[in-house]
Amino acid sequence: MTSSFPASTVLGYPRIGPDRELKRALEAYWEGRSDRAALEEVARRLREDTWRRLAELGLGGSPSNTFSYYDHVLDTAVLLGAVPERYRHDDDLTAYFAMARGAEGLPPLRMTKWFDTNYHYIVPEIGPETVFSLDAAKPLSEVREARALGLETRPVLVGPVTFLLLSQAAAGSPDGFAPLDRLDDVVEVYGRLLGALAAEGVGWVQLDEPALVADRTPAELAAVEAAYGRLGGLAERPALLVAAYFGDLGEALPVLARTPVEAVALDLVRGTPGDVGLLAGKTVVAGVVSGRDVWRTDRDRALATLRAVRERVGRVAVATSCSLLHVPYDVERETGLDPALRGRLAFAEQKVAEVVGLAHLLVERPGADVPRLSAPQARPSTSGARVTETRAPEGGRAPYAVRAAAQAERLKLPLLPVTTIGSFPQTEELRRARAALAAGEIGEAAYEDMVRAEIEHVIAVQERLGLDVLVHGEPERNDMVQYFAEHLDGFAVTRHGWVQSYGSRCTRPPILHGDVRRPEPMTVRWARYAQSLTSRPVKGMLTGPVTIVAWSFVRDDLPLRDVVLQVADAVREEVRDLEEAGIGVIQVDEPALRELLPLRRAGQAAYLEWAVAAYRWATSGAGDHTQIHTHLCYSDADQILAAIDALDADVTSVESARSRGRVLAVMASGVAGGDGRGFGRGLGPGVYDIHSPRVPGADEVERLLEEALRVVPADRLWVNPDCGLKTRSHEQVEAALANVAEAAARLRERH
Ligand code: GLN
Ligand code: ZN
């Protein structure tokens, strides 16, 4: 039955297009500027280009079904017929995009981060009543499409266990129900799919099970064994590759070893071979080329790993550690990068070439045409001294009560002070001006005039609306991480290095490649200008060290902790300079604090400890009379409340639209501190969701604040939106903030 597994492969490939062709096609379709046929044609061409390119590069086995119009987890839900009733529609694409993005009067499904990456997936809803049915159209058509080009492919699917573990229980499910309870029914559908693929003549199928690299209960592991035992036992099926990436399989490895699957893909960049000997008799698809970073592979190390694994299991194929979805397409296009740096980098195309080259070296075919691989690269050495320095005494600030008194004296804020999270709308004009500046069409001075004009406007609006702590609006920032990367030594930024974040949204993560230093102040000029326009306090606005690192590609020759501490050093210097410039309130955002949390519990406490230490180092140089704010979002903040508390910021604003009640209750109750003191400092639970264009009424905001006042003392409650306002229009923002200020004013009268 089984054909042998190809010598080289990748677990997945970017799909947005080298020039973000899919993004443009999607947005044109959503806005009604193009039709379905046009969208499908762009998608078809992207798939064709990818398969042809992988074949040209000499890759042994190419994946299919890695394309997606929005998200591969959502695709899996569709494949299984798990489309919630309220989204059903005669047109399948309409239903699909309604789940992904919402529709008139219909909010989308929840979206959250894919493991510890910055990619977001759509969370399927599964209930006891969900009726599963097979819709194999997409994987089958991709197989046929590639075949028409003369190429055989390996369909890739999210595996049944990971699919259910990532799903959430549908509303109305009885207590104690978990989507994994439906495993038998789901496996039955996967079984039928495998039958259909076998009938189509498909030789191998890849089932992705990254959920297996996190801690799993014995019951979950038993479910894995049952599911793959059953799928493996089917008479009519392709050979099965189970791919577990982003870490070590650990205790799930012997479980998979006992199942009849033919191959297992291991992440040997983040994980180790472990008990790989147990997989003897299967093919080990050895992920030695990282899909998570942009560094060239150390050839000798990778080869040594491959040989060691081969010795223990016999059959080895060379692969990437995970899908290449998380890296940009092609470093050759980055002609603006320092050639020395460029020589150390590998994006998706280069990584494919590395996989192919390693596969050739592994078989040591004499005279074979071996693609050139780089020798191991020398990396700049650690400046140990600086790093140790940053471990200097923690804190340095007086206890909160002392600080609060000094700040009250200086800032003279009213009860329930109103503020915002930092950014104001980024106008099309500003974006165009930034592009023109980059293209050399306008000069620095003209651009800066625009930035100043925008600051003047934003300050005037906030004064008019009666806000208490103002912001300059961040008009000079393209992005809250890239802006800092452009101003710090040790970072490079790319021109075409787009990586999909969700749907049509992409980011260009900066590349942190050397020791981080701040050659000069980064934000002081703008903060000082804003402060010169008003007598109210202006809040300086910085991105925290963990977030800057989380949203960059980071050098791998230093422990992450040391890199974060270097960035914390730079932020600390900036805090001091802002303070010296007379800025009395400084916000240091850490929205990505939760994202870097290790997938296994064993590493979590240590991570949180150094992450918190880095934040405190970044902020503790501030005097007691300077008020430090922090802001967190995107994350399930309630999972890391103790760490948020330990940041020791004077004021913390949290995105809480989705779990408002819970976050508030826990933060106010004392659980967060774990010592009965509770979250005893300023707290700003967002009073409205900025991700929606809806303008909240003053009554609604007043009600929310009253609710908050039941658990947070009035002298500690802050009033602010959920997150930055940059994606909204000036009109929406002014209307919303007017109502927010009005609600605060009404409440002040009564307290
Ligand atoms: N200060 C940033 C802003 O307002 C914070 C963004 C964020 O939390 N993601 O845009
Ligand atoms: Zn936010």
Residues 6+ apart with CB under 8 A from 249: 212, 213, 256, 264, 266, 271, 274
Give the pLDDT band (50/70/90) at residue 634: low
Nearest CA to ligand 1 atom 4: 724
pLDDT value of residue 727:
87
* 369 has pLDDT over 60: no
Q: Which residues have a catalytic role annotated?
A: 691
Q: Where are the beta strands (DSSP E) in 174-278?
A: 204-208, 239-244, 263-267
* 77 has pLDDT over 60: yes
State the distance from the centre of ligand 2 to the C-alpha of 656, rounded, in angstroms.
10
pLDDT digits (tens, 9 = 90+) for 534-548: 999 999 999 999 999
pLDDT value of residue 689:
82
Tokens of 396: 């340095």
Binding-site residues, in ranges, read 20-23, 113, 421-423, 474, 505-506, 551, 589, 595, 631, 633, 655, 723
Report the alpha-carbon distance of residue 70 to residue 503 in Å, rounded. 4
What is the pLDDT of the chain when averaged over all its residues? 92
Q: Is 318 helix (H, G, I), strand (E, B) or coil?
A: strand
Q: Which of 689, 332, 341, 316 is nearest to 510 (CA)?
A: 341
How many beta carbons lie within 10 A of that of residue 696, not counting itself? 18
Report the alpha-carbon distance of residue 564 to residue 610 in Å, rounded. 9
Ligand number, closest to the Cα atom of 422: 1
Residues 6+ apart with CB under 8 A from 372: 357
Which residues form the pocket of ligand 1, taking CB atoms under 6 Å from any ligand atom? 421-423, 480, 541, 589, 591, 631, 633, 723-724, 726
Whole-structure pTM value: 0.92
Tokens of 747: 């409440």
Report the alpha-carbon distance of residue 193 to residue 182 in Å, rounded. 17
Ligand number, closest to the Cα atom of 480: 1
Give the pLDDT band (50/70/90) at residue 750: confident
Q: Produce one character per residue of 604-625: b if its CB has 16 or more CB atoms within 10 Å, e if not.
A: eeebbebbbbbbbbbbbbbebb
To which residue do tokens 């799919």 refer? 193
How many beta carbons lie within 10 A of that of residue 427, not counting itself? 16
Give the pLDDT band (50/70/90) at residue 635: low
Query: Secondary structure of 257-292 in the HEC alphabet?
Result: HCCCCCEEEEECCCCCCCCHHHHECEEEEEEEECCC
Residues 6+ apart with CB under 8 A from 630: 544, 587, 588, 589, 590, 615, 644, 647, 649, 651, 652, 653
Atom of ligand 1 nearest to the CA of 541: 1
Residues 6+ apart with CB under 8 A from 215: 600, 601, 602
**Higher pLDDT among residues 27 and 667, named by residue:** 27
- The rounded percent of the chain whose pLDDT value lies above 70 is 92
Mark residue 510 as left, alpha or beta (left: phi above 0; alpha: psi -120 to 50; beta: remaining): beta
Question: Average pLDDT in the 125-131 region?
Answer: 97
Contact 453, 521 (CB under 8 A): no
* 43 has pLDDT over 70: yes
Edge to edge, the sheet with strand 651-654 lists 539-543, 585-589, 627-632, 651-654, 682-685
* 659 has pLDDT over 70: no
Report the alpha-carbon distance of residue 729 to residue 693 in Å, rounded. 8
pLDDT value of residue 745:
97
Q: Which of 318, 513, 539, 340 is nearest to 422 (CA)?
A: 539
Residue type, 46: L
- The separation between the first and the last C-alpha atoms of the chain, rounded to the nearest angstrom, is 77
* 723 has pLDDT over 90: yes
Mark residue 466 as left, alpha or beta (left: phi above 0; alpha: psi -120 to 50; beta: remaining): left
Q: Where are the alpha helices (H) located in 500-540, listed in sequence order?
A: 524-532
Best residue among 118, 476, 480 to mutate for probing ligand 1, ranked by most atoms within 8 Å of CB = 480
Atom of ligand 1 nearest to the CA of 655: 8
Report the alpha-carbon distance of residue 594 to residue 590 in Å, rounded. 9
Question: Average pLDDT in the 64-86 region?
Answer: 98
